[in-house]
Chain A
């Protein structure tokens, strides 16, 4: 076995220089790692991780356009030299952050070969003991045998007087193996070409064979002939010589492989491939800004669930989603919401209460609230069956995990709505969960019959005051349990208490999922700051009294939004530099402390300047 760790610090040959023809991408491998090698029009050789940052597709099937390498799948482009991603089709700004780069490896040309390595820190092997006035690479040959098993049989083969395609070898070789990766054969004697009885002597150069460890089980042999000058011997003789060696190497390969046939397969080398973050590696949504109203729906049914709660059912009128057949609506996951554009001009978010896989309608449940800013009144009082409304496509910032050992759903009042769709999905898939519904009076127990029919334990906590509610919640969250997840939706005070209690009891932030109806806090927009947009190259000033989102919008930078009060998570923007001043209730405390994203509708900057991934 070769010393794998030491091999990572060496230079290895990965191709012949002539392999990298213009506008071609060469597929190489070294120490189990695949590389895409390509020569740009300026002559520069790039050695990159052979995968697209987007979906991991091999870049060796991509297009070398002379300056950039383009992925065949979705057209992400990567620049010569830096491997920086320069373009993401359909991205809001059609350009990614300068910070997204593929992994690159060093590449240099020497001895007619391309050399690379994971983190080479020494010198490329020297051939100083040989005549290096000119060097001619042989055709590289892959042998499906681990590297350490090649040198000895290859020496045997070369020194045993083999018959070649173009002559009888009377050459004797003296072998020298300075290290496991290099074999030098010093030639004594001459090779005659039997085709010509006058025995025009074919030169018999010394040969250096470099062994390239492709992976644990395969090795490429890259030989170079030393001191053959094509101008002296002519190109026909040179080609004959190359053919002779190609023939010999293929024969040697067959012998070595058959001698190795019954050996156990070595443990594979698994290269470590540093990853970029999921958000960078996922396809961004199509260009869109603001509160989108993509769908037209018709109100098809209204039903009273309780004296103050009605359900509204909408059917597709037409759809601009290309692939959806008429009357089918874009699918929503449990926990998703839509924006509804109401006749009075208001835009409001409502969670869908649909069961799993229902795409023929959207259903929401709305409580008539006296302190409502107009949404529930408009729905309750002025809408009639048959009315046409505009809605957004469903968005989900309250995603249900399906891998929890147990799921706790905690609802305050009408906050049941997203949890109802979750309960329907969990029940449908036979996943274990418990539902707690805190309600003021028995009449608020909507969908009670359906919930009672589910396999899960459902508890209604009726008429509890603040203290009692807190006691019940404290008992529920008594001790964190691994692989349990808590989903909570309800009034701000209840959510705040639950989050605090969960945190002090030691629940991990990632296991507590919450959705606010609205942001209970008052937004402080008195600060002034600068934002720089890394992708679009803009530098903007956000004055006091204006939100970051509205400044972005004024400059035509597309950011999606929904609630526009820091509750729903739709307007999230990545922060590359600077310290955000978080004013939302969507991010968890851990996420806020990390400081690498913010809700652009309410959050601002503590530092004078923010750099955003826009």
Chain B
């Protein structure tokens, strides 16, 4: 049985809960109270992860920390379709890795802004927000052009990868750090698509999507000159 050391409000833990649920892997949660008790800095927890960070999983003798390392492990170990972490395709594998690193930069910007707002961290919230907006602009453009080529996910291809889940958590929680996604329509559509994946689960602050197609784009972007109506 997998044990997940978990904090309900943590986006990094949420990434892991999402993949566990989407892969239909059963596990047990051990709640670590990150705030206000700071249980992740107690001796008991530091003996599990010297970094004092969540999430961590344990299974048998194995202990893995870092949300992205855990995603890689779970995908290789439990994904029968072998699509979440595409090791046989060097290009896609590189792209997955690239976007996982991008997701880490969301942890130090969008997530940090949320720590300032919700958990009273002593960081420069405004600088975190600015950096998050810079990253969101790049991410939105990337997703917008993916949509143009009928690619629905972060890494071009037919199926989502762990890069989608890695990026999803702190994007979808960004409003809690005071980062509006209004200027990023392609990001907003992509979050709808992730929410419609089988096995998707919510966490506090994340709303479910209603039923709908994962994605539909008009056949082409070119419009006839006549407007449909004019008042």
Q: Interface residues, chain A, CB within 8 Å of chain B?
A: 15, 17-19, 21-24, 26-29, 34, 60-61, 63-66, 70, 72, 106, 108-112, 120, 123-124, 127, 132-137, 139-140, 142, 218, 220, 228-230, 235, 238-239, 242-243, 246, 250
Contacts and interface: CB of A to CB of B under 8 A. Distances in A.
B230 A108 contact: yes
Given A21-B215, A23-B212, A246-B141, A228 B222 contact: yes
A19 B208 CA distance: 20
A111 B221 CA distance: 11
Given A64-B212, A123-B230, A142-B183, A21 B189 contact: yes
Interface in B108-164: 137, 141, 144-145, 148-149
Nearest to A131: B225
A29 B229 CA distance: 22
Interface residues of B, number: 35
Contacts of B192: 23-24
A46 B227 CA distance: 16
A139 B145 CA distance: 9
A24 to B, nearest CB: 6
A27 B222 contact: no
A24 B183 CA distance: 15
B195 to A, nearest CB: 10
Of the listed residues A18, A132, A230, the one surrounded by the most CB atoms of chain B closer than 10 A to its CB is A18
Contact of B211 (A23, A134, A243): A23
Most buried by A among B137, B207, B213, B221: B221
A135 B230 contact: no
Residue among B210, B213, B227 having the largest count of chain A Cβ atoms under 10 Å = B210
A22 B227 contact: no
Contacts of B216: 21-22
A238 B219 CA distance: 14
B181 interface: yes
A66 B213 CA distance: 11
Interface in B177-231: 181-183, 185, 188-189, 192, 207-213, 215-218, 220-225, 227-231
Given A18-B221, A27-B181, A120 B137 contact: no
28 contacts: A18-B221, A19-B185, A22-B213, A24-B192, A26-B188, A34-B182, A61-B207, A63-B208, A63-B209, A63-B210, A64-B210, A65-B210, A72-B207, A108-B230, A109-B229, A110-B227, A110-B230, A111-B227, A112-B221, A134-B222, A134-B224, A136-B221, A137-B223, A218-B183, A229-B222, A235-B220, A238-B221, A242-B148
B228 A65 contact: no
Which 8 A-B pairs have CB atoms at the shortest separation, nearest pair first?
Answer: A23-B212, A110-B227, A63-B210, A132-B225, A112-B223, A142-B183, A72-B207, A27-B182
A473 to B, nearest CB: 55
A607 to B, nearest CB: 38
A228 B225 CA distance: 12
Given A18-B217, A18-B221, A246-B141, A239 B149 contact: yes
Contact of A15 (B145, B185, B223): B185
A23 B231 contact: no
Contacts of A21: 189, 215-217
A27 B184 CA distance: 9
Contact of A139 (B141, B182, B209, B222): B141
A123 B145 CA distance: 32
Given A136-B222, A228-B222, A238-B221, A65 B141 contact: no
Q: Is the interface of B mostly helix, strand, loop or mixed?
A: loop
A77 to B, nearest CB: 11
Contacts of A140: 185
Nearest to A123: B230
A106 B231 CA distance: 8
A190 B213 CA distance: 41
Given A21-B216, A27-B182, A123-B230, 17 more contacts: A21-B215, A22-B212, A23-B192, A24-B212, A28-B182, A63-B208, A63-B209, A110-B230, A112-B223, A133-B225, A134-B224, A135-B224, A137-B223, A230-B221, A238-B222, A246-B145, A250-B141
A18 B231 contact: no
A195 to B, nearest CB: 17
Nearest to B218: A18
Contacts of B224: 134-135
Nearest to B192: A24
Contacts of A26: 185, 188
A132 B185 CA distance: 26
A566 B192 CA distance: 52
A120 to B, nearest CB: 7
Contacts of A108: 227-231
B210 A109 contact: no
B221 A120 contact: no
Given A23-B213, A108-B228, A235-B220, A139 B181 contact: no
A334 B31 CA distance: 42
A123 to B, nearest CB: 7
- The CB with the most chain A CB atoms within 10 A, among B137, B213, B215, B223, is that of B223
Contacts of B188: 24, 26-27
Contacts of B181: 27
A365 to B, nearest CB: 45
Contacts of B213: 22-23
Contact of B223 (A60, A111, A238): A111
A210 B197 CA distance: 36
A63 B211 CA distance: 8
Contacts of B230: 108, 110, 123-124
A314 B143 CA distance: 64
Contacts of B220: 230, 235
Contact of B145 (A22, A61, A135, A239): A239
Interface in B81-121: none
A553 B144 CA distance: 57
Given A22-B212, A235-B220, A124 B227 contact: yes
A28 B181 CA distance: 10
Contacts of B215: 21
Contacts of B228: 108-110
A106 B229 CA distance: 11
B210 A120 contact: no
Nearest to A133: B225
Contact of A135 (B148, B208, B225): B225
Contacts of A239: 145, 148-149
Contacts of B211: 23, 65
A220 B184 CA distance: 11
A123 B208 CA distance: 39
A123 B225 CA distance: 15
A559 B225 CA distance: 56
A70 B212 CA distance: 14
Nearest to A29: B182
B212 A250 contact: no
A108 B226 CA distance: 12
